[in-house]
Structure 1
């Protein structure tokens, strides 16, 4: 059955290519959506960029015909910019205010009524990222859907980077003797490179082994975790051991770390970065950056020079550095960093246009990055550099992102098949018992 999809503004502002995501069906953009997109095109951020991209795509389609009459899309569907069906008569009995959301609802409702009156066999569906608009649509008897095509992973199936598995006593003995096993000897659904295994003996449940696939995903190598502390930090659980292995491997230039608050993502990354930059001299500089996205109400403009303005945003990084350098006095960390020109802490705002070779790069709070922003960052990485993206996909402050569409999840899922990347989801909180309790239950 043919369908008519009516798009809300937020769908196009999140993914301009959503225009082409509805197969051979009809796609309708209400005129009010164009007005809202026009109001965003001057923004100097991801929303503004997407608004301008939508405008460019529509202008290209305009070359094929009049948009208000309908033009053919490359995937076989049709696109119409709807100028009619705007009457509010049917809406007044339910929603009085003529807000932009209600104007979009009015278009969808009037088209749905027209379809029924003309006895056409076309289902009308409102597509919106706004849950409350979908609730309103349901109240009016309209079918509504979230836009899910931009999700890179299905619900609750995000890649962990490791798995628990069972081996027969014979294969366990072979693993310890040969230090490796062909991937064909293990029953697993994953054949990703740099993937970890926690093996347990079928005959003796207390006997276990930690292993890791090679960069080609052909062999599983026995993994002997590092015993010596890295810059004074020793892993407290098996996931942290795996993470530290990825963080200290030169042949894995991209590492993604996901986990709840207090699991040690930032501390482990900084310790590994300082160890390889200051002790081993593998990298010329340690660069730490994070997006400037406030949690809750923004505090507005901040006084002072760039460093003074950035300090509140970067404070979580400084807290971890104070722990690693074991500073006790006020200002002591600033004096240490001033004497170590190899450590640089800054906002992601200043990374565009740069080329960053021979550096250990840490990007904190990467879950607040869009797909476009994370691509921009990764394309800045120069020869000889290593980059770590980390964050908690469940703690997102960006209004147009969620657990399944953010930049951190996007990179993890898209590059998990590549030998140049490794991923670990840290499960256990090590900050404090209270922090773990809050992360689990609140």
Structure 2
């Protein structure tokens, strides 16, 4: 509704931005015709601001309160009744992301649909970044002997079209032995290569095959966009932070490391916090400091971990709120809890990446605190699906929890 859009246009958040965007779009369409009569769209549709079917009497019989949602339902119901009187009635469909609105429409006999253009089609088939292929044992032997394996020499993959750049393949013996190999597909050479996976980096060691894959992506500077997803406790943040320290402090490939996360609370918000920016951000950034504390556990120091990090001048921990407008060259960037970002927010974030920088997006699409997002519509899921065909990106879904047996059990059962 126009009044509702107008009431939200001054909000300094994603809702306000969308309200202002809708206003600008309607203003441009107004130049092409009268919105109350309908303006043709480029895709063949027609957009119209409805003024003739706004009576609330029909809806009052079912829902007494005249809320904005019910006023929208009234328009849909009045249009539906008018169409039913015609010889060839057109379908009336209410499209809304509001689940309760769709339920109300169903009780009134109006067809309703979710808004699907911002969702991936099938979350259960979300790209995991790896596949398992059963091959002749001689293929595995050749891979270890030659240090690489041309795709043309894997007959089992001839029928497989969708091998994406930097996708991992777990080769297993088709005869059932324990012989196996893990490789990453190089689109440039059309071949499979060995993983670069050292025993440890900053005392953090890979504990399973997916963590080895993640380390291979993190160490590879020719892959500037990396996404790591997985349930809580699978080691996403720890691996990324360990390699970030190695790349910046040891190898000096990047000038600075930047860690950011969105400010989205789990459960009830604790309200405004006292203090300066650093003091306000400290509760939100505590998970990052916990990981740093684990990494520095074997380095003897009596100093608080937060003071240690503050003393390292090329480490910056920031709220994602402040990233807009920045250009970030030659930095290793980690965005934690990226599943709480919308597609627009994650586009804004990635577009900040400057020359010679690397960005790593971490998160669990099934653990979302943003009330306007779900597993299929959040920005992280969108990046995983839309970037999988790019040679500049790589992805791995981490499966096994490594934090503790309790954490893994909770992730599975709850």
Q: Deviations over 1:226-277 (max 9, x none)?
A: 2421110001110000001101111111111111111111100000101111
Quick check: 1:153–1:413 contact (8 Å CA) kept in 2?
A: no
Which residue in the other structure is 1:106 paired with? Answer: 74
Quick check: 2:182–2:195 contact (8 Å CA) kept in 1?
A: yes
Which residue in the other structure is 1:296 paired with? Answer: 267
**For the residues of structure 2 that align with 1:120 and 1:109, how far apart are their CA atoms?**
17
When normalised by structure 1's length, the TM-score is 0.89
Question: Does residue 76 of the first structure (1) align with residue 76 of the second (2)?
Answer: no
Question: Does residue 43 of the first structure (1) align with residue 11 of the second (2)?
Answer: yes
The structural deviation recorded for 1:345 is 0.7
The structural deviation recorded for 1:368 is 1.0
Which residue in the other structure is 1:13 paired with? Answer: none
SS in 2 for 1:255: strand
The structural deviation recorded for 1:92 is 2.4
Which residue in the other structure is 1:258 paired with? Answer: 229
SS in 1 for 2:57: coil
Alpha carbons of 1:395 and 1:357: their partners in 2 closer, same or farther (altered >3 Å)? same
Question: Does residue 95 of the first structure (1) align with residue 67 of the second (2)?
Answer: no
Quick check: 1:72–1:79 contact (8 Å CA) kept in 2?
A: yes
Alpha carbons of 1:83 and 1:317: their partners in 2 closer, same or farther (altered >3 Å)? same
Which of residues 427, 439, 442 in structure 1 aligns to 2:399?
Answer: 427
- For this pair of structures, how many residues does the alignment match? 409
Which of residues 341, 344, 354 in structure 2 aligns to 1:382?
Answer: 354
Which residue in the other structure is 2:293 paired with? Answer: 322
**For the residues of structure 2 that align with 1:208 and 1:249, how far apart are their CA atoms?**
23
Which residue in the other structure is 1:287 paired with? Answer: 258
SS in 2 for 1:123: coil
**For the residues of structure 2 that align with 1:339 and 1:70, how far apart are their CA atoms?**
62
Q: Structure 1 stretch 319-328 or stretch 53-62: which is displaced more?
A: 319-328
The structural deviation recorded for 1:153 is 4.0
Which residue in the other structure is 1:307 paired with? Answer: 278
Question: Does residue 126 of the first structure (1) align with residue 94 of the second (2)?
Answer: yes
For structure 1, list consecutive stretches of 5 or more residues without a partner in the other structure: 1-32
Quick check: 1:159–1:412 contact (8 Å CA) kept in 2?
A: yes
Quick check: 1:193–1:217 contact (8 Å CA) kept in 2?
A: no
Alpha carbons of 1:110 and 1:333: their partners in 2 closer, same or farther (altered >3 Å)? same
Which residue in the other structure is 2:211 paired with? Answer: 240
Which residue in the other structure is 2:106 paired with? Answer: 138
Which residue in the other structure is 2:246 paired with? Answer: 275
Which residue in the other structure is 2:379 paired with? Answer: 407
**For the residues of structure 2 that align with 1:73 and 1:193, how far apart are their CA atoms?**
37
When normalised by structure 2's length, the TM-score is 0.95
Alpha carbons of 1:427 and 1:189: their partners in 2 closer, same or farther (altered >3 Å)? farther
Which residue in the other structure is 1:5 paired with? Answer: none
Quick check: 1:263–1:431 contact (8 Å CA) kept in 2?
A: yes
Which of residues 110, 113, 116 in structure 2 aligns to 1:148?
Answer: 116
**For the residues of structure 2 that align with 1:135 and 1:349, how far apart are their CA atoms?**
35
Which of residues 192, 210, 214 in structure 1 aligns to 2:164?
Answer: 192
Which of residues 122, 137, 147 in structure 2 aligns to 1:179?
Answer: 147
Quick check: 2:342–2:373 contact (8 Å CA) kept in 1?
A: yes
**For the residues of structure 2 that align with 1:199 and 1:336, how far apart are their CA atoms?**
43
**For the residues of structure 2 that align with 1:166 and 1:325, how far apart are their CA atoms?**
41
RMSD value over aligned CA atoms?
A: 1.6
**For the residues of structure 2 that align with 1:236 and 1:170, how far apart are their CA atoms?**
27
